[in-house]
């Protein structure tokens, strides 16, 4: 849950202890998968390749109407060798299953994009390496942050006027901006006629805050190189840590040649209401770094209202698709998946006799 993320020190990755016989990944099996995989399955495959690891709860919140239906389908995908799974050891309770891309799923994805699996950049050992990575908890935390946005949109606005339009992973951001910045993610949130794009720095309470503040120079360099102003959102675990971070960030921000080119807002997980049906980063938890300037906003704001504090920011173009306004002309080997899953096909009307 986004209000109570699992700390890295409580995780010790390992595979499921009861292996089950699974289908072999050969040409015959690939032919069988062509008739079994739904658009939602293929979307899950692409999301796992983009974001490395998603928990059972995250995949369910993103794409299924209930945890039971999600668990049953994920088990089928696991049996078909489309996804792999592991369950980290935690000191108290039981961790959810964590899912990564398996060889059969990578083959399907590569075929869809007209690539070889090697060109896709997939290796099974690297995919499973996240199970033992010291970055596992951080990666899962960032993915939980965006999952909460998607879940909020699905449950509060079924008509689709509110949506997470773009969600780029840390890896994709590094390929685009790695010479200047390395954000944890890039996103674009749409509410009605308001679009706000942003870079995310997700602090888990382990990074030196002075290092976090030092990253502002890179974001300023990117804005100067592209001529585009993109807000930076900093998510912190506690209000106390946020207060310290804001002091250091504000000091570094004032020293920039053009502070207005790097709009910054901070928020903390402590401000979310864990009793709410769908607490998410869209809530009224964001405080601009220059709270007294810009549009005069001095109180906590909802995500889509942050632009009121930065009236000098031009809205992102509507025709840019999944490309961020900054560096949108850089090619990728594969497109980023849309954060919202495809809708399931409607059931045909019953023709049985009463």
How much of the chain, in percent, has pLDDT values that exceed 90? 67
Q: What are 219-252's pLDDT values in tens digits? A: 999 999 999 999 999 999 999 999 999 999 999 9
Query: What is residue 12's predicted lDDT score, i.e. its pLDDT?
Result: 57
How much of the chain, in percent, has pLDDT values that exceed 70? 84
- Predicted TM-score of the model (pTM): 0.86
Task: Compute how many other C-beta atoms are within 10 angstroms of the C-beta atom of residue 271.
Answer: 17
The CATH class for the domain spanning 8-134 reads mainly alpha
Q: What are 168-190's pLDDT values in tens digits? A: 999 999 999 989 999 999 999 99
Q: What are 285-322's pLDDT values in tens digits? A: 999 998 644 444 568 999 999 999 999 898 776 544 44
Q: Which helix (H) or strand (E) is 198 found in, with range?
A: strand 194-202
The torsion angles phi and psi of 185, rounded to 5 degrees, stand at: -175, 165
The encoded tokens of residue 197 equal: 């794009």
User: Are 178 and 170 in contact, with CB atoms under 8 Å apart?
Assistant: no
Name residue, tokens 């390992």.
14
Q: How far apart are CA 41 and CA 342, in angstroms?
A: 10
Nearest to 177 by CA among 31, 348, 333, 325: 325
User: Are 83 and 77 in contact, with CB atoms under 8 Å apart?
Assistant: yes
Helix (H, G, I), strand (E, B) or coil at 262: coil
Q: Where are the domains of the chain?
A: 8-134, 141-309
Q: Does domain 141-309 have CATH number 3.40.1350?
A: yes
Range 303-308, long-range pairs (CB < 8 A, 24+ positions): 303/189, 303/191, 303/196, 304/189, 304/190, 304/191, 304/192, 304/194, 304/196, 305/194, 306/196, 306/231, 306/263, 306/265, 307/194, 307/196
Q: What are 254-286's pLDDT values in tens digits? A: 999 999 999 999 999 999 988 888 899 999 999
Average pLDDT over residues 345-351: 51
Average pLDDT over residues 87-107: 93
Name residue, tokens 């994805």.
109
């Amino acid at each position: 849950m986004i209000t109570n993320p699992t700390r890295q020190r409580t995780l010790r990755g390992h595979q499921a202890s009861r292996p089950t016989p699974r289908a072999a990944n050969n040409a015959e099996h690939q032919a069988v998968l062509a008739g079994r995989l739904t658009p939602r399955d293929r979307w899950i495959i692409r999301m796992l390749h983009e974001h490395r690891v998603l928990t059972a709860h995250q995949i369910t919140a993103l794409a299924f109407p209930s945890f039971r239906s999600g668990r049953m389908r994920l088990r089928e995908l696991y049996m078909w060798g489309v996804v792999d799974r592991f369950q980290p050891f935690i000191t108290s309770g039981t961790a959810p299953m964590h899912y990564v891309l398996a060889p059969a799923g990578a083959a399907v994805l590569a075929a869809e994009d007209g690539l070889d699996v090697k060109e896709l950049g997939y290796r099974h050992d690297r995919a499973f390496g996240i199970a033992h990575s010291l970055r596992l908890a951080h990666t899962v935390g960032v993915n939980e942050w965006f999952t909460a946005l998607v879940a909020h949109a699905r449950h509060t606005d079924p008509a689709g006027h509110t949506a997470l339009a773009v969600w780029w992973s840390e890896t994709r951001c590094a390929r685009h901006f790695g010479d200047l910045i390395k954000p944890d993610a890039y996103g674009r949130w749409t509410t009605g006629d308001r679009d706000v794009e942003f870079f995310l720095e997700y602090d888990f309470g382990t990074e030196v805050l002075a290092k976090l503040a030092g990253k502002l120079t890179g974001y300023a360099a990117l804005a100067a190189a592209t001529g585009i102003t993109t807000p930076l959102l900093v998510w912190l675990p506690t209000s106390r840590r946020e207060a310290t971070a804001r002091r250091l960030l504000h000091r570094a921000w004032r020293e920039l040649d053009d502070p207005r080119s790097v709009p910054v807002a901070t928020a903390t997980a402590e401000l979310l209401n864990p009793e709410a049906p769908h607490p998410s980063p869209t809530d009224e938890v964001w405080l601009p770094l220059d709270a007294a300037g810009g549009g005069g906003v001095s109180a906590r704001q909802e995500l889509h209202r942050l632009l009121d504090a930065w009236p000098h920011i031009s809205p992102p173009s509507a025709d840019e698709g999944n490309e961020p306004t900054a560096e949108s002309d850089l090619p990728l080997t594969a497109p980023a998946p849309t954060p919202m899953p495809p809708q399931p096909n409607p059931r045909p009307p019953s023709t049985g006799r009463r």
